[in-house]
Structure 1
Amino acid sequence: MFFPLSKLIFFVLTPSNFLILLGLLGCLLLFTEAGREFGRLLASAGLLGLLVAGLSPLSAWTLMPLENRFPAFAEDGAPVTGIIVLGGAVEADTSIGRDQITVNDAGEREIALADLARRYPQARLVFSGGAGSTREDAVSEAEIVSRFADTLGVPRDRLILEQQSRNTHENAVFSARMTQPKPGERWLLVTSAWHMPRAVGCFRKAGFTVTAYPVDYRTNWPRDAYRFASFASDGLSELDIGVKEWIGMIAYKLAGYTDEVMPRP
């Protein structure tokens, strides 16, 4: 129930969707005598909101606390037992249709998988990513990564595939169940920097101690603090990501999936 409900809530509360719906409601009210003034207010608020959200540095300020929470990984010579890469970057349907691995803006996760597999040849490699869809015939991200492992330069026989998870909570629970980590082992967790706080919180809740390996940064701080976007679509996209992640962290705390809204390093 949590998974489909979260999809619906995120759709409505995503800033770009919310502002468009707000403006659309305002436009509809313009055609009513009783709600004309209120409709004008809503339509203006929706348009102004899209301009501010899309062009201002608001998106950078929303993402900055998330991306800066966990520092970039620094090699210290300590042995690495395993590497866990979370899904969210592979476009499964397009990959199947085009017969080649296709990634979205979070493709650095797959780049890190290939790089870390080469740097730590003895480490166990876990890719955790289910279909993330309510369709019964949906193909999992893990299946795509396995199918195109040669393209990534990752030996298939090293891959441990977790294909059932649909969200970050399940990533953590199912990965812990498959790998059975032992005290003292060092596991690197690879995911987007803006997603790392919630991911680490979920893995800690599952009893799985991990070391953050953040990738896929969207901001260049502090340069972006006062920089306006060249395209409103870019600013809206980044603001959508940031707001959805903050909502997700609060929802996960309320659901008991994490112990803190904003886990510490």
Structure 2
Amino acid sequence: MFVIKKLISLLLLPPLAPLLVTAAGLLLIRRHPRGGRALAWGGLFLAVALSMPPVVDALVDGLETAPVVTPAQLREAQAIVILSGGARTNAPEFGGQTVSRITLERVRYGARLARESRLPVLVSGGAPSGSEPEALLMKRALEDDFRVPVRWVEDRSLDTRDNARMSAAILRPAGVRKVVLVTHAAHMRRSVEAFEQAGLTVIPAPTAFFHRGPTQDEVVPRMPNMNSAFTGAYAVHEWLGLLAYRLSR
């Protein structure tokens, strides 16, 4: 099931989805010139639109709705949960594997909150690629690089719902019911929903906001770029994930 979900995701997300639309249009041009051209241009338009900063900002606006966590909220929680976001499998300078850039952004903020609050930490993330579980890589980074101890390790989950269900199963016996949840701001809506469905009370602690905020002077403002293309794909993934949650209820 996990492999099937990943394949469907690849087909529905940039950059492959716009390319497939364009390819379908080119294949149809000979038999259906008008429809084929419309599809081909539509795929090209979609690819460009999803890398335009104004379009991408609009996509993330509805995702990054949780505000920054406050010290008062931290005092109400019983634990910090940090979600994984991938691993870098070829990291010889770290002895083989380490956390990905996305996971590192979450780990860094989680470490800061843990030092400020002195709350115990749970890291959550399995091994989708069949290599070392991401939670173990997170534990290593937190303890070796940030000097933050990790109390619980959930290392079997393969997606956000797994993160929630399996983390709750670890925390409930320890009497933990209210957690600070650390993940990307754009991933927070889906994560909060999953963790609340698992029976936990969630205090969102979003990090790595994609929305650019007030624009600054730029040489070439608001043009397509690699960062926007990545953010566009990430945002589409989250919206599709929220849709899947609604359809599976």
Change in CA separation of 1:71 and 1:208 when aligned onto 2, cut-off 3 Å: same
Note the 1:100-115 alignment, pairs <5 A: 101-105=98-102, 107-115=104-112
Structure 2: which amino acid aligns with 1:164? R
**How many residues end up aligned between the 2 structures?**
243
1:183 shift after superposition: 7.7
- 1:138 matches 2:134: no
> How far did 1:154 drift?
2.1
Identity across matched positions, percent:
30
Which has the larger displacement, 50-59 or 10-19?
A: 50-59
List gaps (5 residues or longer) in structure 2.
none
Structure 2 counterpart SS, 1:78: helix
Flag the 1:183–1:140 CA change in 2: closer, same or farther, 3 A: closer
The structural deviation recorded for 1:80 is 3.5
Residue 94 (structure 1) aligned with residue 86 (structure 2): no
Offset, 1:20 = 1.2
Cα distance between partner residues in 2 of 1:203 and 1:146: 21
Distance 1:131 1:26 in 2: 38
Question: Which of the residues 144, 152, 174 maps onto 2:146?
Answer: 152
Is this contact kept in 2: 1:85–1:191, CA < 8 A? Answer: yes
Instruction: Check the 8 A contact 2:64/2:186 in 1, yes or no.
Output: yes
Query: Do the aligned partners of 1:55 and 1:228 also contact (CA within 8 Å) in 2?
Result: no
- 2:199 counterpart of 1:207: yes
Aligned-residue offset at 1:35:
4.1
2:235 paired residue number: 242
The structure with the greater share of residues assigned to strand is 2
Alpha-carbon separation, structure 2, partners of 1:19 and 1:228: 24
Q: Is the 8 A contact 1:64 1:219 kept in 2?
A: yes
Residue 64 of structure 1: aligned partner = 61
Contact 1:81–1:187 (8 Å) recurs in 2: yes
Query: How far does the alpha carbon of each residue in 1:175-195 deviate from its partner, in whole angstroms, 9 at most, with x for none?
Result: 010111788854211111111
State the alpha-carbon separation in 2 of the partners of residues 217 and 119 from structure 1. Answer: 21
Distance 1:171 1:105, change over 3 A: closer
CA displacement, residues 143-169 of structure 1 (integer Å, 9 cap, x when unaligned): 2123343123223xx331100001110
Matches for 1:1-265 after TM superposition, within 5 Å: 1=1, 3-30=2-29, 33-68=30-65, 70-76=66-72, 78-88=75-85, 90-95=86-91, 98-99=94-95, 101-105=98-102, 107-121=104-118, 123-133=119-129, 137-148=130-141, 149-155=143-149, 158-180=150-172, 186-221=178-213, 223=215, 229-256=222-249
Structure 2 SS opposite 1:210: strand
TM-score with structure 2 length normalisation? 0.85
Report the secondary structure of 2:109's partner residue. Answer: helix
Cα offsets for 1:108-130 (capped at 9, x unmatched): 20101221222233x22100011
Is residue 51–residue 232 contact of structure 1 (8 Å, CA) maintained in 2? no
Verify the 8 A CA contact 1:19 1:49 in the aligned structure 2: yes
- Structure 1 residue ranges, 4+ long, deviating more than 6 angstroms after superposition: 181-184
What amino acid is aligned across from residue 141 of structure 1 in structure 2? Answer: E
Give the superposed CA RMSD.
Answer: 2.6
Q: Which amino acid aligns with 2:20?
A: L
